[in-house]
A and B are shown apart, each in its own frame.
Chain A
Amino acid sequence: MADNQEQQGLVYTNRNSLMNRLYPLVKLAWVFVIAIGLFIYKSPISGAVMFVSVLLLAMLAGKIPFRQILGSSKIILMLGILLMVFHFFADPGEPLLKLGPLTITDNGLYQGPIFFFRLSVVVLASFVLIWTTDTRDLMVSLTKVGVPYRGAFAVFLALRFLPLIQREVDAVRAAHSIRGKSTSSGLGHRFKLWQRYIFTILINGLRKAETTATSLECRAFGLYPTRTYVKDIHFNPWDLVLIVVTVVLSTGLIIIEKVI
């Protein structure tokens, strides 16, 4: 069934933007800096500021169309809202409104948005990293900071196997449904079918893995502790500006929270 060539997940595109040109590790560090900030903020306003700044960065420095951002973030925004609503009710505080057995508290109303922004900004920043970074470059940059190249390659290989696995998942799902209706609908039977489904994908995947491993060794993978990179990437100290600005912004927000 080779006609099917769908692509799933987030796709890296080179739009020749500022974000595209940044050193991959810098972008990775940037996501972590953003994330750390969001776990410290005590005010929803800090989260909102970060939300807007990541959004602006994605659109202006990353040249990512707003429609694409919205398309990919739909689900996460929805989950963020659910989490926010959950906190409205769950967090202890002065009751504001009673809805049957549930109570909305003032503290909940304040806490809710914090977690909305924590979730959505962490995910959005991760999306920006993926949209603007070639995974190959990220892998190469990891080896530059001491990650052994065989280890970094494991990440890369996982990515390389992804489309094969997705094809396999589709094929197995189709094949199983064609075997006709299930012989039982009990929970034990479902567990068995689920196990079977995974098993088929695993056996085929592992068999491929062992062949791939042999073939990689024949292509001198791991022969020397290092290797050449034809498409090398170079670190430009100016790239660190992104980190500096983000750290300043984030600590600024934390200080303002303390002061007010």
Chain B
Amino acid sequence: MAEKKSGWNFNYTTRDIVIIAVIAAITGVVNTGVGNLWYLANTSLGPLGGALLQGAFMWAYILAMWLIRKPGAALIVGIIEAVTEILLGNAAGIGTLGWGLTQGLAIEAVMAISNYQKFDMLTAILAGAAASQFGTLWTSIFYGWDPAYSKDVWMAVPINLISGAILSGLLGYLLAKAISRTGLIRSAGR
């Protein structure tokens, strides 16, 4: 009975909009908490410091994409989630938008390649890994890490990818599955 339309459908319903808002609010709260740890690691230890946790921020982007299944869902969640973090007074201010945009766009890119048709575990893991590394691009700009002279930036790449694959891709995918299994959320089907 699941009403799942996927593909290039931009027709956002009111339900999609409210779901995006709720996911963004939840993520805003959780990410602000996790973020404090990450900011500390990153600012004091550099590119390798936050790499392990780098993937912990995007599970909700994946989840939103998996629930809504429309182009832009991950990007919009990214932006609104960033705004929520900014409003909660995180340690990056409007710079947070940079992460929301890069991470969201990375997931959209992966999904676009699949024509917004594939919603399996592998796609989720790829999207998570991509988002994680894309986010790091912005981190490098914001914190002034220059890959030209810093080995750390390169060494962090595989850690970022793995962290993103597990903490964002896999976690997001598993959450979407778990929610669907309860049969309580209509957007998740049953």
B2 lies within 8 A of chain A by Cβ? no
* Residue ID in chain B nearest A8 by CB atoms: B88
Is there contact, CB below 8 Å, between A217 and B14?
yes
Which A residues lie within 8 Å of B144 (CB)?
A: 83, 87, 111, 114-115, 118
Is there contact, CB below 8 Å, between B25 and A158?
yes
Is there contact, CB below 8 Å, between A159 and B87?
yes
Other-chain contact of A123, B46, B91, B175 (Cβ < 8 Å): B91
For the complex, count residues of B whose C-beta is within 8 A of A. Answer: 61
A133 to B53, CA, bound (A): 33
Is there contact, CB below 8 Å, between B43 and A79?
yes
Which B residues lie within 8 Å of A209 (CB)?
A: 15, 18-19, 21-22
Which B residues lie within 8 Å of A153 (CB)?
A: 17, 21
Which B residues lie within 8 Å of A207 (CB)?
A: 184-185
A102 to B152, CA, bound (A): 15
B contacts with A: majority SS? helix
Other-chain contact of B29, A85, A135, A166 (Cβ < 8 Å): A166
Q: How many A-B residue pairs have CB under 8 A?
A: 192
B155 lies within 8 A of chain A by Cβ? no
Is there contact, CB below 8 Å, between B87 and A157?
no
A193 lies within 8 A of chain B by Cβ? no
Which B residues lie within 8 Å of A201 (CB)?
A: 26
Is there contact, CB below 8 Å, between B182 and A203?
yes
Other-chain contact of A82, B40, B63, B93 (Cβ < 8 Å): B40
Is there contact, CB below 8 Å, between B80 and A213?
no
A35 lies within 8 A of chain B by Cβ? yes
B12 lies within 8 A of chain A by Cβ? yes
Contact with B along A181-194 (1 / 0, CB 8 A): 00000000000000
Other-chain contact of A72, B19, B89, B152 (Cβ < 8 Å): B89
Stretch at the interface among A59-67, A124-132, A248-256: A124-132
**Residues of chain B at the chain A interface (Cβ within 8 Å):** 12-15, 17-26, 28-30, 36, 39-40, 43-46, 59, 63, 67, 76, 80-81, 83-84, 86-89, 91-95, 141-146, 149-150, 152, 171, 174-175, 178-179, 182, 184-188
**Residues of chain A at the chain B interface (Cβ within 8 Å):** 8-10, 31-32, 35, 39, 72, 75-76, 79-80, 82-83, 85-87, 90-92, 111, 114-115, 118-119, 122-127, 129-130, 135, 150-151, 153-162, 164-166, 169, 195, 198-199, 201-203, 205-210, 212-214, 216-217, 221-222
